[in-house]
Structure 1
Amino acid sequence: MPLFEFHCPPCRSQFELLVRNSEKPACPECGSVKIEKLLSAPARPSANGSSLPIASSCPPPSHGPCGTGCCRLPG
């Protein structure tokens, strides 16, 4: 089953789910089915076998405190 990234506008959460095309996923935080599938860049192995970076930089603060490979929330 493919792994997809979703955003839930009602509660503003972002999450990943394993879903089939025929499934209608719901937000694990609030249960809403009004979720949006996000576009994710596919990764492929590098030619020399080295690992790929998770993220090149943090998103601007106007996009929220967290992003792929980056989180500004106090830990």
Structure 2
Amino acid sequence: MSAPPVIEQIRGRLQAAFAPTELEVLDEGHKHIGHAGEGKGHFHVRIVSTAFAGQSPIRRHRMVYAALDGLMDDGIHALSIDAK
């Protein structure tokens, strides 16, 4: 059995790590055609969670990257994050 698509893996990991009240994961590969891998692996995450309360924007981003560890080297080429 093959692994689920990267976008589903991102959603699953972020749900498990942060129990967000809002979560949106968008595949933005179509905006990056012509880049390395023909745009594959470009994603945008918008996440709202109480886990981010009192954390600086940089710390929130680091928390998201930590939750996605492993995918950053295998499946995610670029990631934009809006974490609140």
Query: Do these two structures clear the TM 0.5 threshold for a shared fold by scoring above it?
Result: no
Q: How high is the TM-score relative to the length of structure 2?
A: 0.26
Q: How high is the TM-score relative to the length of structure 1?
A: 0.27
- Structure showing greater radius of gyration is 1
Q: Which has the higher contact order (CA 8 A, sep 6+)?
A: 2
Which structure has the highest helix share of the two?
Answer: 2
